[in-house]
């Protein structure tokens, strides 16, 4: 079913609001899509070649025959896209050559989920070039499989945010993906300048869980409770409660050993200058922190975060999910 030669798809990045780490182990989390988008251009080639340009992750002029997809040494920046193509081609028995170019509106270092967003763009793009339209759940399943093929671990929350957009209540592996009706999210995002590696941090928590299984299980249960409470508070715009719940969640994340000095400095700076609450966002160790702030303290909180950290970013949340641009 080949009706187009070229397509451009975009998908949003994400920010974890509450429930990280516990969501890897069958608990819920809340994630919001950010208006910084990843985009991919897909073009059908005459040859039977896979070609990738992804300058944001230092991939230029990367090419291989389709029969070698997934084989040999694959550069880090090419893994998600190459395995996305491999998984899609296998499932739908496609044999056409393809050229893919990805571009990002945000730096991969922010931890906004560029790998998952590009995986989603590629699979959505391939489905509009070759296959019958995939449902969002089909798109999720194939994209999530690709992410697991590359990194072995993860809940899939970032894949869901890239596909569905908005703010989602999400349970591991897509067992629940429920949009939350939230109009405005009074959020500020601070970047720590410290690089975090998600899989390393998941493994670090796993080591702790082997040593203190009962404590960690209880901590995950508590995190799940916070998510359920925050879900209710968010839909009634009770931001003071959401902030309080974030502060408690941050305490639990600290107990898991995934906070860091820079993050703590920024979190405290936010709280001391008027935020309702603040916490790290994502795997921890570095990347970003978030704060929920009353409108009248926005400026003072942003300034305090910037002084303690590296930058404060003006990020719009609740962004639209993956879409075909043209």
| Residue 234 within binding range of ligand PMV, rule CB under 6 A | no
Residue 141 is a catalytic residue: no
| Residue 23 within binding range of ligand PMV, rule CB under 6 A | yes
Q: Are 42 and 100 in contact (CB under 8 A)?
A: yes
Contact segment (CB under 6 A) with ligand PMV among 14-22, 51-59, 237-245, 317-325 equals 14-22
| Residue 173 within binding range of ligand PMV, rule CB under 6 A | no
From its phi and psi, is residue 50 left (phi > 0), alpha (psi between -120 and 50) or beta?
A: beta
Pairing of strands 288-292, 187-191: antiparallel
| Residue 20 within binding range of ligand PMV, rule CB under 6 A | yes
Query: Pick from 13, 186, 260, 282: which binds ligand PMV (CB under 6 A)?
Result: 282
The closest residue (CB) to ligand PMV is 282
Contact segment (CB under 6 A) with ligand PMV among 19-27, 38-46, 122-130, 209-217 equals 19-27
**Subset of 37-96 contacting ligand PMV (CB under 6 A):** none
| Residue 158 within binding range of ligand PMV, rule CB under 6 A | yes
Residues in Cβ contact with 157 at an 8 Å cutoff, skipping those fewer than 6 apart: 14, 16, 23, 29, 31, 168, 170
**Phi and psi angles of residue 239, each rounded to the nearest 5 degrees, phi first:** -70, -25
The active-site residue out of 158, 249, 265, 287 is 158
Residue 226's nearest CA partner among 251, 260, 254 is: 251
**Looking at beta carbons only, is 163 or 196 nearer to ligand PMV?**
196
Beta strands in 138-184 (DSSP E): 167-171, 176-179
Q: How many CB atoms lie within 10 A of CB 62?
A: 17
Task: Return residues touching ligand PMV (CB under 6 A).
Answer: 16, 20-21, 23-24, 111, 113, 154-155, 157-158, 196, 198, 202, 282-283
Residues with catalytic roles: 158
């Amino acid at each position: 079913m080949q009706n187009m030669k070229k397509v451009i798809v975009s998908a949003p990045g994400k920010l974890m609001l509450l429930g990280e780490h516990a969501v890897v182990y069958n608990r819920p989390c809340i994630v919001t899509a950010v208006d910084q988008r990843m985009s991919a251009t897909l073009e059908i080639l005459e040859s039977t070649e896979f070609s990738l340009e992804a300058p944001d992750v230092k991939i230029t002029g990367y090419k291989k025959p389709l029969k070698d997809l997934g084989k040999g040494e694959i550069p880090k920046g090419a893994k998600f896209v190459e395995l996305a193509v491999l998984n899609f081609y296998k499932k739908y028995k496609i044999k056409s050559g393809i050229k893919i170019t990805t571009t990002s509106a945000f730096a991969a270092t922010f931890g906004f989920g560029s790998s998952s967003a590009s995986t989603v763009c590629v699979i959505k793009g391939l489905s509009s070039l070759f296959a019958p339209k995939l449902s969002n759940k089909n798109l999720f399943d194939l994209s999530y499989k690709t992410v697991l093929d590359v990194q072995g671990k993860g809940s899939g929350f970032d894949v869901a945010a890239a596909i569905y957009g908005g703010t989602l209540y999400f349970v591991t592996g897509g067992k629940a993906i429920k949009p939350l009706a939230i109009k405005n999210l009074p959020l500020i995002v601070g970047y720590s300048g410290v690089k975090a590696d998600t899989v390393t941090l998941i493994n670090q928590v796993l080591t702790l869980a082997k040593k203190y299984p009962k404590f960690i299980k209880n901590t995950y249960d508590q995190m799940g409770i916070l998510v359920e409470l925050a879900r209710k508070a968010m839909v009634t715009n009770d931001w003071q409660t959401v902030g309080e719940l974030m502060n408690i969640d941050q305490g639990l994340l600290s107990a898991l050993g995934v906070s860091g000095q820079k993050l703590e400095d920024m979190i405290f700076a936010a709280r001391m200058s008027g935020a309702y609450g603040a916490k790290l966002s994502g795997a921890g160790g570095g990347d970003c922190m978030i704060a929920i702030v009353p409108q009248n303290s926005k400026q003072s909180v942003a300034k305090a975060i910037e002084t303690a950290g590296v930058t404060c970013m003006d990020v719009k949340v609740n962004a639209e999910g993956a879409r075909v641009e043209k």
